[in-house]
Structure 1
């Protein structure tokens, strides 16, 4: 299928629906972890004007999941055809080009897209700014530990340390050949800025933001979510251990 100016992509992930203007944005946001809800991907040729106005009124902007499937009717997007992403074997019996106007309850499952992992990140600063460290934890899709990472940062702010934590983890994952990643952290600032929801106003972290964004864009599948601090304890522990390391010193603990 050709990707033209009028085409758009509709993605349902669990009970949330996102609309994308190009294939690369769609591809980058479709999570591939087996822990994710099932994902359906469809392509439309030309979005009706009334539909676009309706979606904007519901808060969909910049290709974000921000509307519930229960708020949509089955034909709001007009005619949709399946998008040629990898499918679960149970879905391959359906011709890939067959026109569909399916209800949202009918799912086309998204299979694992390359090698995927989960990254938990955090940063610590004793003084803000003060002696700082970055921490990251890499897990496989089943939740088992792959590696614990920590890096000494010297003097840095807490926000800078948290950015260094995500950068540390992304570099490790790319170096190990992972093509898909789910990122979790308790820094609302980092998560919101990486998603493009908040502007980067602090010049001291703008360079770190750009570095993290470039690393993010090298993954085929990328997703980032904010979690509560008590759900990020492993990465927090690594960041606090890293405070005592020399600036630039990186330690790895690999589970065998």
Structure 2
């Protein structure tokens, strides 16, 4: 899996590429319609990728990301200094444990162009009319429900 998040002053997006063999891939591009900092958007991309992989039944996962912070915090070589990232790291650790095999590695941004492009594309999506618009609270509720099902003993509260 490759992942990336795109954050500008006006928009945020997520790009995920789940590879099965070299010539098969599932690509995902999302727009985040609520305000986040850049590191948080990267963690959102990472978590969405983990959720999607688990939902698809992936048991063996190799992750490649270009944000050194997420990769090094996952490996344990960087400590978590931003308190706002603590819930993201906690959720990620619980999801990582669900895979039979799990590895993560840092890649140069040039090696992560596909996910980067999908993230940029997601951030540029413009929804027209209320019938196609997904409200932030609806989207968050969906993810929260998935996480609740995965970790029934945990209580996740919406901010």
TM over 0.5: yes
**Offset at residue 148 of structure 1 (A):** 0.8
**Offset at residue 150 of structure 1 (A):** 2.0
Aligned position for 1:159: 39
Aligned position for 2:27: 148
Give me the whole-angstrom Cα distance separating, in 1, the residues matched to 2:124 and 2:88: 22
Q: 1:85-116 deviations in whole A, cap 9, x for unaligned? A: xxxxxxxxxxxxxxxxxxxxxxxxxxxxxxxx
1:230 aligns with 2:110: yes
Bigger strand share: 1
Aligned position for 1:200: 80
Indicate the SS of the match to 1:134. Answer: strand
Aligned position for 1:220: 100
Indicate the SS of the match to 2:124. Answer: coil
1:243 aligns with 2:103: no
Give me the whole-angstrom Cα distance separating, in 1, the residues matched to 2:24 and 2:121: 18
**Offset at residue 149 of structure 1 (A):** 1.1
**Offset at residue 225 of structure 1 (A):** 0.3
Aligned position for 2:2: 120
Indicate the SS of the match to 1:243. Answer: helix
**Offset at residue 144 of structure 1 (A):** 2.0
**Offset at residue 146 of structure 1 (A):** 2.4
| 1:216–1:222 Cα contact (<8 Å) kept | yes
Gaps of 5+ in 2: 126-133, 141-159
Which of the pair has more CA radius of gyration? 1
CA-based RMSD of the aligned residues comes to 1.8
Which structure is higher in RCO with an 8 Å CA cutoff and minimum separation 6? 2
| 1:132–1:157 Cα contact (<8 Å) kept | no
TM-score by length of 1: 0.48
**Offset at residue 167 of structure 1 (A):** 0.9
Aligned position for 2:65: 185
Give me the whole-angstrom Cα distance separating, in 1, the residues matched to 2:78 and 2:63: 17
Query: Which is worse superposed, 218-227 or 194-203?
Result: 194-203
Give me the whole-angstrom Cα distance separating, in 2, the residues matched to 1:221 and 1:168: 18
**Offset at residue 123 of structure 1 (A):** 0.5
TM-score by length of 2: 0.75
Matches within 5 A, 1:1-256: 119-127=1-9, 130-140=10-20, 142-153=21-32, 154-245=34-125, 247=136, 248=139
Give me the whole-angstrom Cα distance separating, in 1, the residues matched to 2:42 and 2:24: 21
Give me the whole-angstrom Cα distance separating, in 2, the residues matched to 1:144 and 1:210: 33
Gaps of 5+ in 1: 1-118, 250-256
